[in-house]
Structure 1
């Protein structure tokens, strides 16, 4: 009984991590798109893009530790 509860909790948080990864990837692509379309380089915009990239790769590394598999490229709004 105790192990079943642990497995369901792990599954629940794995799904939340995966959804967070998808959202973070969308944010990263959005900030990169804005940065590419801006003529002058803005320090704040550059920092936001860098932060979004760091967040995504941190979550990606965490997902690899937990052995979560999935496709984060589906259902993206471009």
Structure 2
């Protein structure tokens, strides 16, 4: 029973790490686009703030779970 629980935890931890990497890429891409924009739109700024907030939230969750990509 413990092995099943450990496998599920590892799978969830890996899924969390994958989501963190995906959100980081999304956030940095949006940030790059916004920094090159002559006049950034409100919607773009909103999307940038949302992606940053999601990323930071998942980073905190990874710290709580004691997960590291290294």
TM-score w.r.t. the length of structure 1 is 0.86
Unaligned runs of 5+ residues in structure 2 are none
**TM-superposition CA deviations, 1:1-38 (whole Å, max 9, x none):** x1111001000110010001000000000000010000
User: Structure 1 residue runs of 4+, over 6 Å off?
Assistant: none
Aligned-partner Cα distance in 1 for 2:8–2:69: 18
Number of equivalent positions: 70
Unaligned runs of 5+ residues in structure 1 are 72-78
**TM-superposition CA deviations, 1:39-68 (whole Å, max 9, x none):** 113100100000000000011011011110
TM-score w.r.t. the length of structure 2 is 0.95
Aligned-partner Cα distance in 1 for 2:18–2:65: 14
Structure whose residues are more often helix by fraction: 2
CA RMSD of aligned residues (A): 0.9
